[in-house]
């Protein structure tokens, strides 16, 4: 089911936007004019990824450095404390669509 979450202009303004849909917090990101949506909780400890750093197609959690591919949700770098790697699972991703200037997420 498609959910209307915001305007395209809102996302263009900041390149990242946190939205809530059906009790889930989802992070929208803009990359090369394409919109990606992932769960907004790091799979390591549940920290919000909206405060993390996006570099190209990578999103890094601010807390322990877990890094994810925003297109697939795949783990690129596990969370770590010092040299100790922590269990880190793939992020859930969501399909997005733009219709008449509005962004929709498919849940």
Of the pLDDT bands very low, low, confident and very high (cuts 50, 70, 90), residue 80 is very high
What is the predicted pLDDT for the residue at 14? 79
Q: For residues 47-71, give the mean pLDDT.
A: 97
pLDDT band at 26 (very low <50, low <70, confident <90, very high): very high
Contact (Cβ atoms closer than 8 angstroms) between residue 64 and residue 51: no
Domains of the chain: residue spans and CATH: 1-104 (2.102.10.10)
- Whether 15 shows a pLDDT value over 90: the answer reads no
pLDDT at 101: 96
The pLDDT assigned to 13 comes to 82
Q: Nearest CA to 71 among 95, 102, 87?
A: 95
Distance CA(97)–CA(101), nearest Å, equals 10
Taking the C-alpha atoms of residue 105 and residue 96, their distance in angstroms, rounded to an integer, is 5
| Rounded-to-integer distance, Cα 67 and Cα 20, Å | 22
Residue 67 pLDDT grade (very low, low, confident, very high; cuts 50, 70, 90): very high
């Amino acid at each position: 089911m498609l959910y209307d979450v915001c305007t395209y202009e809102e996302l263009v303004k900041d390149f990242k936007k946190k939205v809530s849909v059906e009790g889930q917090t989802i992070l929208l990101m803009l990359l090369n004019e394409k919109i990606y949506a992932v769960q907004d909780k790091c799979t390591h400890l549940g920290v919000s990824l909206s405060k993390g750093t996006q570099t190209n197609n990578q999103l890094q959690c601010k807390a322990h450095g877990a890094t994810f591919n925003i297109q697939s949700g795949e783990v690129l770098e596990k969370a770590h404390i010092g040299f100790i790697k922590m269990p880190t699972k793939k992020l859930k991703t969501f399909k997005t669509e733009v219709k008449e200037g509005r962004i929709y997420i498919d849940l």
